[in-house]
């Protein structure tokens, strides 16, 4: 009779104690762990092992795989717990996720509460996200958001961004979004408006995912004394999110880097068409266009005739009779 006996002593390859960089530099595991700790101390960095792997590769040129990053982060208790377990059956949700081919053609927007500890009340954060690139178009943070606030935010986006002609937006059934004034505005802008089914947040999955990032990166880390401090923090976060935060939905890179990879010039993403639009609580940085007015005095020569004509060519002024003119700035 034969009995099973475990094969003790037969183990896999021992774990390495170092990591190489792209230029061949040897980095000890202790230094890698310290780098991970330092990065997790940075504002808004809340990566798990997989995003941290891409981050280490991108920032430090480490040649490192997710398995090793997971092992090191688990050993040193650097893994964070997810906010809530996701359901395993995602078939229904995937069927409702829009298939978007063109950037900036499908948006989701929604409202999230942000607690202001110093004033002991919640503020409302309204954010608009592009599904294709995950870029945050714009946002507002106020104690009350009404239908005219939604229109003002959307108007800012239409004025500041280069957008395609065909656009679809998806929202829940909040009163601000159902308002006839908002519907009429979107109809006027020739924008298709889709509503999620009641109690179906996963139909607005991209903005809900962004809200979970806000919860983890902002709500759980900060206590705001007032709404101005909260707006300042959100301004820094949105700038970081668009330009630098690694996002699994766009190939483990940042929204702006992904946009560049599909041929979008990120320097031209936010071009103000009207510099007078207020951006006090906005998440975009709109440069103020300043023009210095100068008075130009053109004097005809004393002996010239009244019918002398002036011509401008290549930036130079000339007269029909070749007389001299003086220009004062």
Q: What is the pLDDT of residue 214?
A: 94
Q: What is the pLDDT of residue 178?
A: 87
Q: What is the pLDDT of residue 84?
A: 55
User: Each residue of 149-186: pLDDT tens digit?
Assistant: 999 999 999 998 989 999 999 988 888 998 999 999 99
Q: What is the pLDDT of residue 89?
A: 36
What pTM does this model have? 0.64
For residue 58, the Cα-to-chain-centroid distance in whole angstroms is 19
Q: What is the pLDDT of residue 265?
A: 81
Question: In order of start, what are the domains of the chain with their CATH numbers?
Answer: 18-75 (no CATH), 94-268 (3.30.420.10)
Q: What are the residue ranges in the chain where pLDDT is below 70?
A: 1-12, 81-97, 199, 268-329
User: Contact, 139 vs 116, CB < 8 A?
Assistant: no
Report in angstroms the alpha-carbon separations of 158 from 137, 191, 207: 10, 11, 19
- Give the C-alpha separation, 17 to 13, whole Å: 12
User: Each residue of 88-105: pLDDT tens digit?
Assistant: 432 233 345 677 889 999
User: DSSP class of residue 221?
Assistant: T
Q: What is the pLDDT of residue 14?
A: 78
CA-based nearest residue to 123, from 152, 138, 108, 145:
145
Q: What is the pLDDT of residue 131?
A: 94
């Amino acid at each position: 009779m034969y009995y099973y006996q475990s094969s003790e002593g037969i183990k896999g390859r021992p774990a390495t104690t170092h990591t190489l960089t792209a230029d061949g530099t040897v980095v000890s595991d202790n230094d890698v762990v310290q780098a991970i700790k330092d990065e997790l101390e940075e504002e808004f960095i809340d990566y798990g092992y997989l995003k941290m792997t891409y981050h280490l590769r991108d920032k430090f040129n480490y040649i490192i795989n997710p398995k090793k990053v997971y092992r090191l982060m688990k050993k040193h208790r650097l893994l964070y717990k997810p906010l809530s377990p996701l359901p395993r059956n995602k078939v229904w949700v995937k069927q409702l996720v829009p298939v978007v081919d063109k950037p900036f053609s499908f948006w989701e927007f929604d409202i999230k509460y942000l607690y202001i500890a110093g004033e002991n009340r919640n503020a409302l954060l309204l954010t608009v996200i592009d599904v294709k690139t995950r870029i945050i178009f714009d946002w507002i943070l106020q104690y009350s958001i009404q239908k005219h606030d939604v229109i003002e935010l959307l108007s800012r986006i239409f004025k500041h961004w280069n957008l395609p002609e065909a656009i679809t937006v998806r929202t829940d059934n909040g009163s601000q979004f159902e308002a006839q004034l908002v519907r009429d505005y979107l109809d006027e802008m020739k924008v298709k408006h889709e509503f999620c089914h009641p109690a179906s947040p996963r139909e607005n999955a991209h903005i809900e995912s962004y809200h979970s990032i806000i919860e983890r990166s902002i709500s759980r880390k900060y206590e705001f004394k007032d709404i101005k401090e909260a707006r300042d923090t959100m301004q820094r976060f949105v700038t970081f999110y668009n330009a630098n935060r690694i996002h699994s939905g766009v190939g483990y890179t940042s929204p702006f880097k992904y946009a560049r990879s599909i041929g979008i010039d990120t320097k031209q993403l936010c071009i103000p068409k009207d510099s007078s639009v207020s951006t006090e609580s906005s998440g975009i940085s709109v440069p103020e266009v300043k023009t210095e007015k100068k008075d130009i005095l053109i004097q005809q020569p004393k002996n010239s005739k009244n019918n002398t004509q002036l011509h401008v060519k290549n930036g130079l002024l000339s007269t029909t009779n070749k007389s001299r003119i003086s220009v004062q700035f």
